[in-house]
Structure 1
Amino acid sequence: MYLNKYLSCLTLAVLLVSCNLDNKPGKYDNEENVAKNNKKNATETATKPARSKAPIVGERINGAATILNNPGGEPLVTLVDYIPLRCAPVKKDWYPVSVDFDITKDEFSKPLFHKGRKIKVNGVDAGVLQRDIKLPVATNGEKMWATINGYTQKKSIRNGTIIESALSSYLKQHTGRSAADMEPFIHNFKLEEETTLKPYVLYFNYESGIDDPSPLYRLALVFQGKQLIGVLHSRPIQLDGGTPRRLQRGFTVNYLNGIDKSLKEDFAVKFNKFILSVD
């Protein structure tokens, strides 16, 4: 499905986890309060949502952060501002997190890392290890990385890079609900397309994989034709108006106002059947 590519003003500008972090903008335009900084931009973004140059996958560090082995526990690594990582659902103001950093061939063979080692993420300086630690390593044939799993405080994650918060803000700022209206958001968070549930099309991302090695959907925009009819989600999300309905396997769909009752029922039946068939 090809959506219209248009519009040039600034909104939701964010960076892809795998991109060069040197492209980090001076202002984090995906943040909820960016419009307050410039009245002209606020007026423009209210009517002209735009694609960022590079999408984002996962969350970003807010200022600086320490990853601990347990909530309130011992430090594993300190990270600098805007470093990408994955977050599982928050638990009592702590996020379970996972971050990958670049390693050498020798480290891939002997994955014991020492306190004080400076780490890089996608070639960019990212922080320093705070203890000697043995870590799982992996490769895709092109690069090698080690993975640190731990916990960080809720305040250490940029709110504008959390997809649920970003979507809530986007829907408040932009009134359009067509596929073209939502295309910048789809692009900016690199949502994938699912067409199994015809006549519905889902644009979705997966859960972090921290809690489950076979993650399901985290959030999905549900379209019928070229119109958004609802938001499917596994984590809490604040959406104005709409009608929530619980589905199988812990999912909820928030239907937009004015959606026909028969359409709501049809999607719920199809999705429940589909998600129960997924391993």
Structure 2
Amino acid sequence: MKNYAYFLLAFAFAGCVENKQQEQQADSTVQTVEKNNEPAPAAPVTPDATPEKIIRERAQGTVTLLDSANGRPIVQVNDNVQLEAGIPRKGWASTLVTTELNDTQTEGQLLKKGSPIIADGKTVGKVLEDVEIEMTFKNDKGVNTGVFHAAVQQNKIKTGTVIETVLAKYLQEHTGRTLPDMQSFIKQFQLEALNINKPYKEYYNYESAADDPSPGYRTVLVFHQDKLIGVVDSRTLQLAGAKHYQLDRDYHGYFFTDTDEKLRKEYITKFNQFVNSAD
């Protein structure tokens, strides 16, 4: 009887535990359902990231510039320093080096070995041997500034700052070619609007002054009715879905295959007439 009582007590206790567990489980389920029915907190609104503005190419790591292709080292610049590199030929490009000057350097038109290369008041490189300054002027802050030529290897330039490379990648990643689709690219490379070849609208930048002190266009985005129909460039590029046409003054035209033939021919005629009359 005692054993039977113990059995009943144990059975009753087990039933209480089981009921308690079921109640806890039910309570947990109710809480979960109630929690799931609560309105989700609003996701924080974050502004779109503004891409870094790119005016010119930038150095890839610490770069030694030479006096000519395969020539003598004359200057060393730090990573990400802006370079005004010209059209590359056989892996090399001419580039302009700009530095702020003191009065002695301005008067003597000379940068002595060991002199710092200065941009916006900060040292961004150094001269490795005496260099003659080719031109001086006052920058937009009124600081004496000097310019001289050097040579840079093409593989020492950050590919993410070369407009032709970035444009080809951008158009692969963005399927749309409307003007709104292209706005972030236009803003990143600070392209200027041009409306002289109506009904076409163009956005362009200039070629480097390293090759020509009066440079012409470098990259021109060509729109018709706010749709990108082609690109004109002083350099070659790989543009998916576009066909290459040789234009006057050694310019290259890349027009998308879905562009109306009449529009393409009309624009090429307008562009050739303009560049031939520019001088």
User: TM-score of the superposition, structure 2-length normalised?
Assistant: 0.79
SS of match in other structure, 2:170: helix
Runs of 4 or more off by more than 3 Å in structure 1? 7-10
Partner of 1:76: 74
Please say if 1:197 is aligned against 2:193. no
Q: Distance in 1 between matches of 2:164 and 2:59?
A: 16
* Cα distance change of structure 1 residues 251 and 8 upon mapping to structure 2, 3 Å threshold: farther
Q: Distance in 1 between matches of 2:63 and 2:214?
A: 28
> How far 1:227 moved relative to its partner?
0.8
SS of match in other structure, 2:123: strand
Per-residue CA distance 1:16-59 (angstroms, 9 max, x = gap): xxxxxxxxxxxxxxxxxxxxxxxxxxxxxxxxxxx42x511111
Please say if 1:177 is aligned against 2:177. yes
Partner of 1:210: 210
Match of 1:66 among 56, 64, 67: 64
* Cα distance change of structure 1 residues 91 and 228 upon mapping to structure 2, 3 Å threshold: same
Partner of 2:116: 118
Q: Distance in 1 between matches of 2:58 and 2:257?
A: 32
Partner of 2:22: none
Please say if 1:151 is aligned against 2:122. no
Describe how 1:35-74 pairs up with structure 2 within 5 A: 51-52=50-51, 54-74=52-72
Larger helix proportion, structure 1 or 2?
A: 2
* Cα distance change of structure 1 residues 8 and 200 upon mapping to structure 2, 3 Å threshold: farther
> How far 1:9 moved relative to its partner?
4.4
Q: Which moved more, 1:111-120 or 1:137-146?
A: 137-146
Structure 1: any 5+ residue segments left out of the alignment?
A: 1-6, 11-50
Partner of 1:43: none
RCO comparison, higher one (Cα < 8 Å, 6+): 1
> How far 1:121 moved relative to its partner?
1.5
Q: Distance in 2 between matches of 1:247 and 1:73?
A: 34
Instruction: Give 1:162's aligned amino acid.
Output: V
SS of match in other structure, 1:229: strand
Q: Distance in 2 between matches of 1:121 and 1:113?
A: 15
> How far 1:101 moved relative to its partner?
1.0
Partner of 2:258: 258
> How far 1:122 moved relative to its partner?
2.1
Partner of 1:275: 275
Per-residue CA distance 1:210-234 (angstroms, 9 max, x = gap): 1112111111100112111101111
SS of match in other structure, 1:271: helix
Per-residue CA distance 1:96-153 (angstroms, 9 max, x = gap): 1112011123322222221111221222321111011221222246222111311111
> How far 1:8 moved relative to its partner?
4.7
Instruction: Give 1:154's aligned amino acid.
Output: Q
Instruction: Give 1:193's aligned amino acid.
Output: A
Partner of 1:138: 137
* Higher gyration radius (CA): 2
Describe how 1:9-48 pairs up with structure 2 within 5 A: 9-10=48-49
Q: Which moved more, 1:234-243 or 1:105-114?
A: 105-114
Instruction: Give 1:273's aligned amino acid.
Output: Q
Per-residue CA distance 1:194-243 (angstroms, 9 max, x = gap): 11000111101111011112111111100112111101111010111212
Q: Distance in 1 between matches of 2:248 and 2:196?
A: 17
RMSD: 1.6
